Amino acid sequence: VKSPAAAVAIALGVLIAGVVWFFATQGTGRPVTAVVGSARHIVTLTLGSPRSGDQTVTVQVTDRDGNPYAAPSLAFTAVLPTMGYSSPAMTAVATQGAGHFTAAGVELMTPGIWQFQLSLPDAAGKDQVIVPVSVTG
């Protein structure tokens, strides 16, 4: 480098790269996956984009030994406790084989920590798993 101008250009380049890196790693819109277990089941819930609006929820359910939860559909509600809001009962249908369920168009109308409350009845009776997910604006 032969001139101060070039040095300044390099410094600016480094600065811009840093800013781009900072925002690229914030990534609030990337899918989020959470695993929550009960005594009998393990739920792996993925929210396509943890932002408010209509979202797609995919759920994988197994028993504690890893066997898929064999049911044609899964009943759940989306609850925002801080607002005192509960969605109507919704259904995720088995789409990609046993134990995999998908629900599209789940309306998360405002940011907050939402709870997906899933009912998992089986031969032993009722079971419920609650999966909390942070949803941003």
CA atoms of 73 and 103, how far apart (whole Å): 10
Residue from 1, 24, 123, 124 in contact with another protein (CB under 8 A): 1
Shortest distance, position 98 Cβ to another protein, whole Å: 19
The residue with tokens 């959470």 is: 34
CA atoms of 92 and 102, how far apart (whole Å): 5
Q: CB of 43 within 8 A of CB of 35?
A: yes
Q: Which tokens in the block code for residue 66? A: 């890893």
Residue 52 is a binding residue for another protein (CB under 8 A):
no
Residue 34 is a binding residue for another protein (CB under 8 A):
yes
Q: Where do contacts with another protein occur on this chain (CB under 8 A)?
A: 1-2, 4, 7-8, 10-11, 14, 28, 32-39, 41-42, 44, 50, 64, 79, 81-86, 111-113, 115, 117, 129-134, 136-137
